[in-house]
């Protein structure tokens, strides 16, 4: 799939927004997940934030939902 009339920065912005929507939806139902899925989602979120190529694009003000997630689930 080739985006037409989009710069690389625009494409990366849309990709980051898609990830954000997907994971925020999943994280909002974390307490309803099985222990395995819950641990998996927490671990994946840590990896995305700390070690993915997108971590640099995520710099800036942290959304309130993520602050609450970290307060509740991240040591």
**pLDDT tens for the 75 residues of the chain, in order:** 667 888 888 888 888 888 778 888 888 888 898 999 988 988 888 887 777 666 666 666 667 777 777 788 776
CA distances to 5, 12, 39, 45 from 58, in Å: 24, 11, 22, 12
48 contacts 55 by C-beta, under 8 angstroms: yes
Please give the model's pTM, rounded to 2 decimal places: 0.61
Residue 31 has a pLDDT of: 86
Domain boundaries, the chain: 32-75
pLDDT of residue 9: 83
Q: Give the model's pLDDT for residue 36.
A: 95
């Amino acid at each position: 799939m080739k985006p037409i009339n989009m710069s690389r920065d625009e494409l990366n912005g849309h990709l980051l927004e898609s990830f954000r929507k997907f994971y925020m939806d999943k994280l909002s139902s974390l307490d309803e997940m099985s222990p395995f899925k819950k641990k998996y989602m927490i671990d994946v979120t840590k990896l995305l934030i700390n070690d993915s190529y997108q971590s640099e694009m995520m710099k800036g003000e942290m959304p309130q939902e993520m602050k609450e997630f970290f307060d509740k689930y991240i040591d």
